[in-house]
Structures are given as C-alpha cells and as structure tokens.
C-alpha cells in the first residue's frame, strides 16, 4: 500500500461510522482515469485528469460525496468518487474537514483539486441539487444527470445553475452528462452550465442540455471577461430559449454540436469574445449565431455548419445576427487536434452518444459512434472478439505472479487468486472491491478468467477490468467467467467489482496472453 493512501485511511478512521450511515463505500485500488481522456481546451494548461492515480470511493448520498472529499489527506489528494443513486437535499449535508469546504444545499467542490465524480451502476441523478465548483482545479464530472436546479422557489440550490463554476477555476472536463430543467427564470431556473470570475480551460463534451430558458454563460457581465478557453463538442442543445452559450470575452470552440429548438438565440458572442464554430447542425431555431441584446460586439469564425430551418431577425442597435448567410469576421487558432465529423451526420452521432447512461460512446470523426477510447479496448461483445464463453487456453500467467488489492475480508489472501487452488479464495471487506495481478516486467494479456469459489457462484454483479498502469478500462460487464479484450502489454491488471449480490469469493484470477 502506498503511503499517501495509508495516511488517507488513517485520517478517515475516525469518520467510518458517519461514512457507513451516509452511503460511502471505500475501495483500495488507485482510480482509473475517465474513459477516453479529456478533450478540447481541458487538455491544455497541464491537462485534466481529475482523480486519476488516487483512491476510488463509492457514494450513494450527497453527504457521502462530501465525506469522501473531507476524508482525504489533503485538499489535493487525488480521488475518484463513483456515484450511484439519487442525490438530493434530503441526503446532502455539510461535512467539515481540513481537505474540504462543503455546504448543505449543493455538492460543493470548493478550494480543492484532483477530483473525479462519475456515475456508475444504475446511474447517478442530482435531483434539484447543483454541482458548485469554486477556486478549484483539475475536476472531471462524467456520466451524471443534474435536473431541476432552482435559484428561486423551493428548494433552491447553487444559485440555480445545474453546474456552476466561479472564482479562479482551472481545468474542468464535463463529459456525458444530462443537464435539464423544467422551464425558465420565471419558473425559478437559471443556467445549466455557467462559468464566471476567471474560469478557464474547460470542456463540455457528449452532453445533453434541454428544457431550460438558459443553456449557459461564460462571464456574468460585460466586465467579466477573464473567462475563456472553453470547448463544446458533440452536445445536444434542445428546447433552450437562449445562451447556447452566451460568451462574454475569451475564446470558445464549438464543433459537432446539434442545436435544436433554440427559440430566441443560440451562440451569443459579445464583449470582444471570439467563437470558432465548426461543423455544427442547427435545426428549427432562431438567431443561432451573432451578438444579441447588447452593442458590445463579439466575433466568430464559421466553417462547415448546416442551418436547417433557421430564421434570422433583422439587425438593430442591440442585435447583430450572423445570418442569413453567416460569414467569418475573425480568425481563431486552436492549439489541440480534434476529429471532426461532417455536419450532416451530427444529429445521428450526437443522438447515439450525448448524455448520461449512453455507455460513454464517442466519435472518432468517422460519423460512427465508438465505444470509449476505441484505439484501446474493443467491445468484448464484438463478434470479431474471442467468444467469452470459450475456455482459456495456454499458460495461466497469474501462477507465480504477484497480487494485491483493496481491503480483504478476514481469513482471505490476495495470493489465493493466483495459486491454482480452487479451494482457496480472496474476498473484499464488503460487497465491492478489487484484486490485481502484477508482474515485474511488462506482460501481454488479452483474456482473463474469474473463477468464483464453491458456494458463491453468481454473486459477482457488475465489474470493470483496468490496465492499472494507465488507468484505461479494458472491459466492463457483469458476472464472473472469461473476459476478452484487445491484447495489451502491462505490469498490473485489476479486476474491480462494482456491484454484487453478496460477498464475492474469487478463487482464481487467471490471466492469458491469447
């Protein structure tokens, strides 16, 4: 066990009773990076990796999320918080500690760094409760739904923003989320995705924003122009009045988004802002690009976009629509590479990939949705893969290797999963946990076989197989047995149990080259 993890556990011992009561489950493997890795401007300024390299914690309440943050050794200790279930006002309390600064009416990511929040299992829903990011850096939010967050009426949360960033925020990647409201400001709702007061290097990708008066803004006023370097790609904006987004100052890059049913305005570039607008599909909308509601002009560079049933207002003192024939009036240099789908296929690609619980599917520019990180793991159910029901052949590479993992149940051993003896086994200290097989030098593996001990068959539910060296997810699914994936050279491979019907007992964790 690495010393930082040991220190973090020692710090948490005094709060185990609270953790048990509030829905936090600790597991010991170092966290995998979010599948596929950050894109867009979130890759700049040192990159965005969230809690990669740190501990993984499971949380089923808002209090448990705060408890996980407060139980770290420091405010910058990396952590991945896997969230499952509904997070709401009733189960979200303030938790105090030296490594956190939380509040009761929101998920507070304040004065911290190196954190991943990711929805797992049956999904994570933040119901009427916003995610608040303040004075924070290197944050990843992935595969969650945030809905019906109010700034007025009851209950109120987070100033009304589904996800709000403010005050010297750096490097945030929000990916495969669903952000939705049930009306506009008159019904108590505000923005779905807001950035203010010096927020920079942010990417919003593969997300759905819908049923709101305001999609989001970058800059709270014409004088708040220190924000920027934001990428929006492969998102669906649907049934939004305006602010898709509103951009005050700074630079933003919008590519391969599907905008549908924008009733008042869309990309509103103003106060000196620059927007690069690449290969998007605008449909059944009004004034999808320009400077609106101000005489403080912004600018844009356009290419490859499709305007399908888009209407345009007449220019005026406070209105400068880019259409009906949008032309570039600036030039924007993009510092990162990005695969670009043709705008004609964007509605189909976005429909298959954007939002929570879509399997984290992405696009590689071929107009065909791909599984996460398509150059790394392949879908184990692909017919070109080895039949996962085939018995493994060749040498079991686990014999004579090393092993470790998360906290184990009494009387069990990590070594029991690599001794070739089906009569011995390892169990986690609870229903979830992980066990790893490791070698002193890089070893090629393309198939594993998880054998449950007698009397425990069928206990293992959902799982992930991880390349522990890189954090990549090699495979995921449910149930024990043979699991195939694209051959990979590594020194350590981890089998992580994320759901079970009881206490799992793994008799053997076999590994094979082919």
Task: Tell me which residues are annotated as active site.
Answer: 243
Strand 362-363 with 462-467, pairing: unpaired
Token match 């990708």: residue? 205
154: Cβ contacts below 8 Å, ≥ 6 apart: none
Bridge partners, residue 127, by sequence: 147
Measured in degrees and rounded to the nearest 5, phi and psi for residue 316 equal -155, -175
- The burial class, CB within 10 Å (0-12 / 13-18 / 19+), for 216 is buried
Residue 358 CB contacts under 8 Å (≥ 6 apart), including other chains: 176, 206, 352
Alpha-carbon radius of gyration of the chain: 24
Kindly compute the dihedral angle of the four CA atoms of residues 12, 18, 24, 26, in this order, to the nearest 10 degrees: 30
The answer to whether the peptide bond before residue 290 is cis (omega within 30 degrees of 0) is: no
Distances (CA, A) of 440 to 270, 402, 443, 471, 474: 57, 8, 9, 18, 20
Angle at 215 between CA 33 and CA 253, to 5 degrees: 60
Contacts of 153 (CB under 8 A, 6+ apart): 187, 188
Cα–Cα distance measured from residue 101 to residue 97, given in angstroms and rounded to the nearest whole number: 7
Using an 8 Å Cβ cutoff, are 484 and 388 in contact?
yes
CA distance 274 to 165: 20
d(CA 143, CA 355): 7
Please choose, from the candidates 276, 270, 240, the residue with its C-alpha nearest in 3D space to the C-alpha of residue 41. Answer: 276
165 vs 193: CA distance, rounded Å: 8
Neighbouring CB atoms inside 10 A of 398's CB total 24
Q: For the chain, how far is it from start to end, CA to CA, in angstroms? A: 30
What's the rounded Cα separation, in Å, for the pair 211 and 180? 6
DSSP label at residue 420: S
Instruction: Confirm if 315 and 342 have CB atoms less than 8 A apart.
Output: no
Question: To which residue do tokens 């904006």 refer?
Answer: 237
- Helix/strand/coil for 254: strand
Among residues 245, 299, 254, the alpha carbon closest in space to that of 281 is found at: 254
Helix (H) or strand (E) holding 436: strand 433-452
């Amino acid at each position: 066990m690495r010393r930082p993890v040991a220190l973090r556990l020692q710090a948490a011992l005094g709060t185990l009773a609270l953790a048990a009561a509030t829905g936090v489950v600790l597991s010991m493997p170092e966290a995998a990076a979010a599948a596929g890795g950050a894109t867009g401007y979130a890759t700049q300024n040192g990159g965005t990796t969230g809690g990669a390299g740190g501990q993984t914690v499971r949380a089923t309440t808002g209090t448990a999320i705060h408890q996980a943050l407060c139980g770290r050794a420091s405010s910058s200790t990396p952590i991945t918080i896997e969230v499952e279930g509904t997070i709401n006002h009733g189960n979200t309390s303030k938790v105090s500690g030296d490594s956190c600064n939380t509040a009761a009416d929101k998920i507070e990511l304040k004065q911290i760094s190196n954190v991943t929040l990711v929805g797992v299992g049956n999904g994570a829903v933040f119901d009427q409760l916003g995610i608040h990011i303040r004075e924070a850096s290197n944050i990843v939010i992935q595969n969650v739904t945030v809905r019906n967050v109010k700034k007025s009426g009851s209950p109120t949360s987070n100033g009304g923003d589904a996800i709000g960033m403010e005050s010297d925020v750096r490097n945030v990647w929000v990916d495969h989320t669903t952000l939705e409201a049930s009306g506009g400001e008159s019904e108590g709702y505000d923005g779905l995705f807001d950035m203010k007061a010096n927020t920079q290097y942010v990417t919003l990708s593969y997300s759905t924003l819908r049923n709101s008066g305001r999609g989001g803004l970058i800059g709270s006023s014409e004088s708040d122009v220190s924000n920027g370097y934001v990428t929006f790609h492969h998102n669906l904006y649907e049934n939004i009045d305006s602010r898709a987004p509103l951009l005050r100052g700074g630079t933003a890059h919008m590519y391969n988004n599907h905008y549908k049913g924008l009733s008042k305005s869309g990309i509103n570039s103003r106060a000196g802002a620059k927007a690069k607008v690449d290969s998007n599909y605008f449909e059944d909308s009004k004034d999808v690009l320009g400077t609106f509601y101000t005489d403080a002009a912004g600018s844009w560079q356009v290419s490859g976009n499709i305007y399908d049933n888009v209407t345009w207002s007449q220019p005026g003192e406070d209105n400068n629509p880019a259409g009906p024939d949008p032309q570039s009036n600036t030039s924007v240099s993009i510092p990162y590479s990005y695969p670009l789908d043709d705008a004609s296929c964007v509605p189909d690609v976005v429909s298959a990939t954007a939002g929570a619980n879509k399997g984290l599917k992405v696009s590689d520019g071929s107009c065909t949705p791909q599984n996460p990180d398509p150059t790394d793991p392949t879908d184990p159910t692909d017919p070109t893969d080895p039949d996962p029901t085939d018995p493994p052949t060749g040498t079991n590479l686990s014999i004579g290797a090393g092993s470790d993992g998360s906290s184990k149940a009494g009387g069990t051993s990590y070594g029991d999963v690599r001794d070739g003896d089906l009569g011995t086994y390892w169990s986690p200290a609870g229903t979830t946990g992980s066990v790893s097989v490791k070698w002193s030098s890089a070893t090629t593996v393309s198939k594993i076989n998880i054998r449950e001990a007698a009397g425990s068959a069928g206990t293992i539910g959902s799982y992930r197989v991880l390349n522990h060296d890189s954090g990549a997810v090699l495979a995921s699914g449910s149930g024990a047995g043979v699991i195939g994936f694209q051959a990979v050279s590594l020194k350590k491979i981890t089998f992580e149990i994320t759901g079970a019907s009881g206490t799992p007992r793994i008799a053997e964790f076999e590994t094979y080259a082919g």
